[in-house]
Structure 1
Amino acid sequence: MTSAASPHLTGGLDTLVIPGRVDADRAELTPRGELVHGCADILARTLAGLPDTVTRVDLDMAGVHFMDTAGLQFLDVLAVHGRQRSLTVTTANWNGQPRRILELAGLDTTDPLAGPGTAGAVSAVTPPAAPASSAVAMERAERLHVLEEEVEQLRQAIASRPVIDQARGILMATHGCTSDEAWHILRETSQLSNTKLRDVAAAVTASAEADGPPPSPELRTALQRAVARRRRG
């Protein structure tokens, strides 16, 4: 049993497949790839194809390595399916960037369908349709805004992967840091200078070329601060 999603537009990223197996009254699904546009439809078709004897559906999310706000719709479909069919539904093993998105959305990273406020994963972060003035509604709106910014920055990073990889290599050679430390230096420089990550990477790469232009004073200061913080850490 396997379902697959069509590729999305960011380029070079994996499609979603949802293989699984049914053992008696339990279905175990193991999604692999990305939770992006179309993932909720793929999940809905997969769930609809399960035998009527199934009373429990468990998803192992270890194979999902990227997620945007469509992933919240994915969770909503799963939660609604569980309520409508009176099934037990769980998700587990959220890692990396998808786990970060759950954190920003204010969901339980162990199982976002567990605990209070799980009538729908999307409703946990989506502001009400009516004008909202309460502190809770404002907090939800701000949380969603932060979530969308985080996803957009990650999309840009993936699209700009070649230049970012070059910049990481330059920082590793220049400052004697690891690849992971170089990545954090780039991200922190981006945040400190309020500059897009790909623009930071492009400036670092260009400055390493013969007669290449140095980074702007603001960017250079932010880079120095990021390197200093990483050394102290």
Structure 2
Amino acid sequence: MAFFAISRTEPLRLLSATELAVEQERLRAENAQLQQAVTSHAVIDQAIGAVVAYGRIPPDEAWRVLRDMSQRTNTKLRTLAGRILRYAQGEAVPDFDPAELRRAIDRYRVLQRTPR
């Protein structure tokens, strides 16, 4: 079976075994990145829901709280989201400070009351 490179700007050309292997590896890496992105997105969405329930704030504010906490604690957003989910499920999370979450929520409550 022959495999060809498809391009809008170049004519079809037969791919070598090496080119096929390189392309296969590139596609595997891209697939892994996409899978991680989908998983991270789901964890972040769930953490937003937990912050909504915990802080009784709208989802857009919960997103801002997560982003703010991530920046202030220098923690990747998906890592922070995972910690918040574990905390919300009652786990003791050593790298998570619930007081920081409360402070972040309170900061956004103050911003909501401040006229713009």
> What is the TM-score normalised by the length of structure 1?
0.31
Alpha-carbon contact 1:192-1:222 (below 8 Å) kept: no
- Give the match for residue 11 of structure 1: 34
Q: 2:55 aligns with which of 175, 180, 196?
A: 175
Indicate whether 1:213 and 2:92 are aligned.
yes
Matched, 1:194 2:74: yes
Q: 1:229 aligns with which of 107, 112, 116?
A: 107
Q: Greater strand percent: which structure? A: 1
| Cα offsets for 1:139-168 (capped at 9, x unmatched) | xxxxxxxxxxxxxxxxx8765111111111
Structure 2: stretches of 5+ with no match in the other structure = 1-7, 9-26, 112-116
Cα distance in 2 for partners of 1:209, 1:160 equals: 18
In structure 1, C-alpha distance between the alignment counterparts of 2:41 and 2:101, rounded to whole Å: 19
Match of 2:12 in 1: none
How many residues in Structure 1 have an aligned counterpart in Structure 2? 83
Listed one character per residue, the Cα deviations across residues 177-201 of structure 1 (whole Å, up to 9, x for unaligned) are 1111111100100111111111110
Unmatched segments (≥5 aa) in structure 1: 13-155
**Percent of matched pairs sharing the same residue:** 37
**Match runs of 1:1-233 below 5 Å:** 9=30, 10-11=33-34, 160-210=40-90, 212-214=91-93, 216=95, 219-233=97-111
Please say which structure displays the higher CA radius of gyration: 2
| Superposition CA RMSD, Å | 2.6
- Which structure's residues are more often helix, by fraction? 2
Length-normalised TM-score, structure 2 = 0.59
**Runs of at least 4 residues off by over 6 Å:** none
Greater relative CO (CA pairs within 8 A, separation 6+): 2
